[in-house]
Each structure stands twice: as C-alpha cells, then as structure tokens.
Amino acid sequence: MIETMQPAPAPAVTAPQDVAVAVRGVRKVYPGGTEALRDLTLDFPAGKLTTLLGPSGCGKTTLLKIIAGLVAKDAGTVEVLGREVSAPGPERAFVFQDFALLPWADVLRNVAFGLELRGTPQSEREAVAERYIANVGLKGFERRYPHELSGGMRQRVGLARALAVKAEVLLLDEPFSAVDEQTRRKFQEDLLQLVSQEKKTFIFVTHSIEEAVYLSDRIVLLSPRPGRIWKIIDPQLPRDISPDQIRRQPVYLDHVESIWQGLRQYVE
C-alpha cells in the first residue's frame, strides 16, 4: 500500500545548543502566485548532515537558498547559530550544482577566493586553501585552471572553497548530480569523511533516494508543493563497515524502499 504524503505536525523544538539552523513558520510565494513553501518549521542538528528530499518542485532548493540568505522568505524566521538570517553571512557557505568557479583563476585562487574577499592576507589564505585542496584529493592541481579539470574535479574545487572559509554551516545543492555514477560514489564516501573530520553542519539537497539514505544522519521528506514536512527519518546506518556492505544492509534497503513507496505516486 502506498503511503500518502500528508504533512506531519510541526516537530518538537530541539534544545538550542543542539541546533545550528532553526526554521520557524517559513512561507515562500513566487511572483505569479506559486507557493513553494508553507508554514515550514524545522531544526537542523549541529554537526550533522541533514538531507532535504522530496518530489520535484517541493521547495528543497528554495529552502536551502532561504537559509543561505539568497532568497527572501514571505513569512516566518530563520536563525543560524542563534542569529536571524536576512542576507548571506560568513557562517554559511553554499556549494552550487554547476560549480560556479572563476574561469580565469587557478584552483588555488578559486579555493582561496572567499578568504580574499574577507581581506585575509595572501600567505594565510593560500595556506588554508592548500590544506583543503589536499583534503578533497586535488593536491598537485593547485595551478590548474577550471577548463583543465574534469567535472568531478571542478566540483571538488567548489567543495574545497566552501570549506576554506571556515563556515559552520555548509549548504549543498545537488553537488554530485553532474558527475558519473563512479565519481558520485567516491564523492559520497569523501563527504562522509569530511563530515566526520570537520564537525560542521551540512544541509544537502538531492533527488537520489539512495544517496540520501547513504549519506544522512537525518532525512527530511517534503510533501509536494507547497513544501511542508511529511516525515523525518534517522537512518542510523552502521559506519564501521565498508560502503558496499552498508548498501547491502537490510536497514539501508528498507529505508530506500520505504521512501520510494512514498514518492512513487508523484513521479510523472
């Protein structure tokens, strides 16, 4: 039997010290009357990776951009680390789907660019950039330009740039959608390592059910437009076994199937 996606009651508010991002009663209506989000209330736990998942057009990217301060909401409040969001800020960094690199700058300068805008001295910002370039597996490519890199490598540059500014909240909008399946799986493994190492809060948007279940500490399923919370899932996968073993675990397969059964009625 297919479970109908009815919005869930607003979740209980988590203790403030455990919350990196607090969304309260957010509504967004685009010109022309399209209501993207309605009365959305949600907490994002600090130091965890939370994935936004749902049917196309349910408002996942809209919510991400509202948290980033790139899109204005029509009602409600968003707080990041206890401060209300009204514009982009240094405590947040955005990783775009389309890389958004500077074509005229090499890898080192692309990664250091956010620090350059903040006035960080060159030697300091380049040292930080070199560390994150190495962390994402691009050591030795510091002087290459975007056109000399594969799509997967360009996306690694975008991730390194977001990490380099030392933001506490990283917002990732389908960052792996433009790469092949083999590269995507390697990215997923690398991202889990970064989440563990960096202890930052990651908010991740994807259309892939398998990716969401594999990566997430928490999955927030949104209902069809206007986006509201349908269900929150904590996959609780074992992390002390290999990626292939994780994907064969009954708990992994059960979550994937359960989510698919809820979403399949909205696939055209």
Q: What is the Cβ-side half-sphere exposure of residue 121, based on CA atoms within 13 angstroms?
A: 2
Kindly compute the dihedral angle of the four CA atoms of residues 21, 26, 31, 36, in this order, to the nearest 10 degrees.
Answer: 90
Q: What pLDDT sits at residue 127?
A: 95
Q: What pLDDT sits at residue 71?
A: 94
Residue 16: pLDDT over 80: no
Flag the least confident range among 7-11, 32-36, 131-135, 188-192.
Answer: 7-11
Packing angle between helix 122-135 and helix 107-117, nearest 10 degrees?
A: 130
Residue 8: pLDDT over 70: no
Q: What pLDDT sits at residue 15?
A: 42
- Better pLDDT: 14 or 141: 141
Q: What residue ranges of the chain are covered by domains with CATH 3.40.50.300?
A: 16-91+167-266
| Residue 265 CA to its chain's centroid (Å) | 25
Kindly compute the dihedral angle of the four CA atoms of residues 58, 67, 45, 163, in this order, to the nearest 10 degrees.
Answer: 110
Q: Which is nearest to 9 in space by CA: 232, 234, 255?
A: 232
Q: What pLDDT sits at residue 14?
A: 44
Mean pLDDT (whole number) for 227-236: 93
Q: What pLDDT sits at residue 2?
A: 41
Could you tell me where the beta strands, DSSP code E, fall in the chain? 19-29, 35-45, 49-53, 75-80, 83-84, 92-95, 169-173, 201-205, 218-222, 229-233
- pTM for this entry: 0.87
Share the mean pLDDT of the chain. Answer: 88
| Residue 80 CA to its chain's centroid (Å) | 15
- Better pLDDT: 181 or 222: 222
Q: What is the CATH number of domain 16-91+167-266?
A: 3.40.50.300
* Preceding amide of 121 cis, omega within 30: no
Residue 241: pLDDT over 60: yes
Q: What tokens were used for 268? A: 């055209």
Give the Cα separation of 96 and 98 in Å (integer).
Answer: 5
3-state secondary structure of 147: helix
Residue 240: other Cβ atoms inside 10 A: 6
**pLDDT tens per residue, range 33-65:** 899 999 999 999 999 999 999 988 899 999 999
- Better pLDDT: 99 or 21: 21
**254 contact partners, CB below 8 Å, separation of at least 6:** none
Q: What pLDDT sits at residue 182?
A: 83
**pLDDT tens per residue, range 182-221:** 888 888 888 888 888 888 999 999 999 999 999 999 999 9
